[in-house]
Amino acid sequence: MKRLQPEWVVPLVAFLCHSKSNTTGDIFEVGAGHVAQLRWERSRGAYLRPDDSFTEGNLLHKWHEVVDFSRPDHPNGPVDFTQMLFKTNSVPETPSESEHTPDFKGRVAIVTGGAAGLGQAYSIHFARYGASVIVNDLADPSATVNKIRAAGGNALGVQCSAESGESIVKAAIDAFGRVDIVVNNAGILRDAAFHKMTDKQFTDVLNVHLRGTFKVSKAAWPYMLKQRYGRIINTTSTSGIYGNFGQANYAAAKCGIIGFSRALALEGKKYNIKVNTVGPCAGTELSRGALTDELFQAFEPKYLCPLVGLLCSDNLVPEPSTGGLFEAGSGWVAETRWQRSGGVAFPADKSLTPEMVMHHWPSVINFDDGRADHPREPADGTAKIMANLQETKDQGSSKSSNSYLDKIAAEQKRTASGTEFSWNEKDVVLYSKHDLPLLPGFD
């Protein structure tokens, strides 16, 4: 670990801050001589007709298209919704596949932000397939609860912020005795250009989206561990994946949810707790300003339900069935993942300079040389760094010439040769001017 020093990061940072670098908005991985770029990669996805035939069964039938990266996109922003809508509406009518209909009888689902929009659609969908639903919202959730009960379903409204996760989960346990599914959907917007954004605008959005997701998941987690079963759907946004002007607060919260979800997926895997993240495009009050009236009507929230229902089902989704990130809307579903360039492996026993980084920059950002990979597990994040360390060691260089620890050790071994000091009468007189005691024999 001696070679994993900060000095390996500094040359990359220096280059990125230099006037000759025009790089912006990108992500890089660096350590022990390894420098590479990360970018998003999105499958072409599956297209289903946005009507009543868009069900979990039909989506499962096309799941191989959802996770097919043979012809991927490498986007810097959301999909072209107009073009995508044209493709989904062009899909021939398909008989509804009923063989793999989810069964949520006996399950208890919590949906935050359930008073309207996506949350209401999710709540009704779970109830339709037999789940008892806790409908949570800061607004009055009674309209959603009444719709479910009128259709013969079982639901209970809990009016509070998603930040009151303990109260929401307690209501589920008190009413139904368990909690199996959590859909963290609650959200607000406080858009503003960054130079005008206030602390309150920033923290309010993080509290509802990110902290609310944490609080509900945290409260439900012990019950899911005990029953060795759980399904959690967390809601991100294309703003969190790609960024968006005027939404630094919202993008930060939604990007944080992606990392949070990946961590929970790893921790919950051996307990049959599956955690996935969905970036929806739907016509809701939050998206009304970003969509034209035509698109707003076309992207009905109910067309997100088959994806969420499938991810919350019992073992219908092929492995890996947890830790995924999906973008979806109006009949289109695609998976999004990280892609990492092959990068450059500088010798780990030599000093790295900004000039070296600049000279090899085309290789650092080259994704087309056949060496790019797709890190998913924690070990993948350091695999290339450790491989570069091992390669340097195998080549016979076991001591780093620029190791701080080595330099400190060398300095500690140095000894002083001593310094001779002498004085004359003039020096003594000068000292006496500062009220210093005279040496014996000079008084």
Question: How far is Cα 234 from Cα 184, in angstroms, rounded to an integer?
Answer: 5
Question: Average pLDDT of 172-191?
Answer: 98
**pLDDT digit string, tens, across residues 234-274:** 999 999 999 999 999 999 999 999 999 999 999 999 999 99
Question: How far is Cα 361 from Cα 355, in angstroms, rounded to an integer?
Answer: 10
Asked whether 35 and 12 are in contact (CB, 8 A), the reply is: yes
Domains and CATH numbers, the chain: 1-98+320-443 (no CATH), 101-280 (3.40.50.720)
Q: What is the pLDDT of residue 421?
A: 66
Q: What is the pLDDT of residue 402?
A: 45
* Dihedral class, residue 57 (left if φ above 0, else alpha if ψ from -120 to 50, else beta): alpha
Q: What is the pLDDT of residue 200?
A: 98
Q: What is the pLDDT of residue 439?
A: 46
Q: What is the pLDDT of residue 246?
A: 97
**pLDDT digit string, tens, across residues 337-383:** 999 999 999 987 788 899 999 999 999 999 999 999 999 988 887 77
Supply the residues annotated as catalytic.
250
Task: Name the packing angle between helices 117-128 and 142-150 (round to 10°).
Answer: 30
Asked whether 3 and 15 are in contact (CB, 8 A), the reply is: no
pLDDT-based confidence at residue 385 (cuts at 50, 70, 90): confident
pLDDT-based confidence at residue 386 (cuts at 50, 70, 90): confident
Output the DSSP codes for 80-131.
-HHHHHHHHHTSPP-----TT----TT-EEEEETTTSHHHHHHHHHHHHTT-
289 to each of 25, 189, 200, how far by Cα in Å? 25, 11, 22
Question: How far is Cα 368 from Cα 252, in angstroms, rounded to an integer?
Answer: 30
Q: Please report, rounded to a whole number, the percentage of residues in the chain having pLDDT higher than 70.
A: 83
